[in-house]
């Protein structure tokens, strides 16, 4: 089976898993649950769940185990996008080519849906059956997700991003925002996949961190660039929003050409880390495919 087909199958797999969790929620016919489903199943590349599967697959974890952290991190990601789109933050009208959740269901329901998606991610990770995963490893996975999504991770980065609006940032300051706002959850996805295997995964986390730090930053820089040179079909939202919001980006600070060089440098860094793992007899095919995908489109 080709790697692209494999990744496509995993996308479908996590969509089915997510739908299963939504179908068991109480009040499933209310606007709240419908908004949660809409925000999560609207579309998307499922990059974070794919990183969970790719890392766990490399370490020999079973798919039925990886389903749990994959679904949990996608709920967390969906919550972050839903709240990012709100009028108080980015005030977006489109997400993934469709009307944003708050435009469809109202701002009040959208806020609650984001809150509920966040807590659902924790609930999945804590309560879903994970045969063979000892409680200590599950707790470490929960700690990783909370660390990556709160003040020490994604939310902290979102706050830094808000503070920086209409201010001229240095590259170091901008990279700090990106590593917290976007990179922390991508690093968590890789770590969650590794931690399902306990000590086997824990032993290579330093290498995996260097890989995920590189692709996480490349992903956000590529997103910055597409906001300048991309179009609605690729972005799923109207381009130029960063400029309208007064945000500093790599293209505005160093230009498109230098930004493209930076993305390639980060890609090469990620491949060096995977080459090291390959030398240790790990099958890094899926992770290589994801790294390539990140620098090609967003």
CATH of domain 3-296: 1.10.600.10
CA distances from 65 to 130, 194, 197 (A): 5, 11, 10
- Give the mean pLDDT of 222-243: 65
pLDDT band at 212 (very low <50, low <70, confident <90, very high): very high
- Give the mean pLDDT of 9-23: 96
What is the chain's alpha carbon radius of gyration, rounded to the nearest angstrom?
18
Query: So what's the pLDDT on residue 298?
Result: 45
pLDDT band at 295 (very low <50, low <70, confident <90, very high): confident
Cα–Cα distance for residue pair 241/224, rounded to 1 Å: 10
Give the model confidence (pLDDT) of 77-128 as tens digits.
999 999 999 999 999 999 888 999 999 999 999 999 999 999 999 999 999 9
Q: Which residues lie below 8 Å from residue 19, measured CB to CB, with a gap of 6+?
A: 37, 41
Contacts 24+ apart (CB under 8 A), 40-43: 40/74, 40/75, 40/78, 40/117, 41/15, 42/95, 42/96, 42/98, 43/96, 43/97, 43/98, 43/236
Report CA 2 to chain centroid distance, whole Å: 24
Quick check: 136 and 176 in contact, CB under 8 A?
no
- Give the mean pLDDT of 22-47: 94
The token duo for 186 is 């991508």
Give the model confidence (pLDDT) of 136-145 as tens digits.
999 999 999 9
Cα–Cα distance for residue pair 59/98, rounded to 1 Å: 37
Quick check: 15 and 7 in contact, CB under 8 A?
no
Give the model confidence (pLDDT) of 144-191 as tens digits.
999 999 999 999 999 999 998 888 889 999 999 999 999 999 999 999
Give the model confidence (pLDDT) of 27-36 as tens digits.
989 999 999 9
pTM: 0.94
Domain ranges of the chain: 3-296
pLDDT exceeds 90 at position 232:
no
Cα–Cα distance for residue pair 248/141, rounded to 1 Å: 33
Residue of 42, 44, 64 lying closest to 52 (CA atoms): 64
The token duo for 102 is 């708050």
- Give the mean pLDDT of 201-205: 97
pLDDT band at 43 (very low <50, low <70, confident <90, very high): confident
> What's the whole-number average pLDDT of the chain?
92
Reduced to 3 states (helix: H, G, I; strand: E, B; else coil), residue 94 is: strand
- Give the mean pLDDT of 265-294: 96
pLDDT exceeds 60 at position 234:
no
The token duo for 84 is 């990012």
């Amino acid at each position: 089976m080709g790697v692209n087909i494999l990744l496509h199958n995993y996308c479908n797999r996590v969509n089915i898993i997510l739908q299963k969790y939504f179908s068991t929620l109480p009040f499933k016919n209310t606007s709240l649950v419908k908004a949660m489903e809409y925000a999560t199943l609207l579309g998307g590349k499922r990059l974070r769940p794919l990183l969970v599967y790719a890392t766990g697959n490399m370490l020999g974890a079973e798919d039925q185990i990886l389903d749990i952290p994959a679904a949990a991190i996608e709920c967390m990601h969906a919550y972050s996008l839903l709240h990012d789109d709100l009028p108080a933050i980015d005030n977006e009208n489109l997400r993934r080519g469709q009307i944003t959740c708050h435009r469809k269901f109202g701002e009040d329901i959208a806020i609650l849906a984001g809150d509920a998606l966040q807590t659902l991610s924790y609930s999945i990770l804590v309560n879903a059956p994970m045969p063979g995963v000892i409680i200590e490893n599950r707790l470490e996975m929960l700690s990783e997700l909370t660390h990556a999504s709160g003040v020490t991770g994604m939310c902290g980065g979102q706050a830094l991003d808000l503070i920086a609006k209409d201010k001229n940032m240095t590259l170091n300051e901008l990279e700090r925002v990106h590593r917290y706002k976007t990179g922390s959850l991508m690093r968590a996805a890789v770590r969650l996949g590794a931690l399902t295997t306990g000590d086997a995964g824990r032993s290579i986390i330093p290498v995996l961190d260097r890989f995920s730090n590189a692709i996480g930053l490349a992903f956000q820089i590529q997103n910055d660039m597409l906001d300048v040179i991309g179009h609605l079909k690729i972005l799923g939202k109207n381009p130029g929003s960063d400029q309208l919001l007064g945000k500093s980006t790599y293209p505005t600070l160093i230009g498109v050409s230098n930004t493209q060089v930076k993305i390639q440098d980060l890609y090469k860094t990620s491949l060096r880390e995977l080459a090291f793992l390959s030398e240790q007899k790990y099958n890094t095919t899926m992770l290589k495919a994801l790294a390539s995908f990140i620098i090609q489109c967003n």
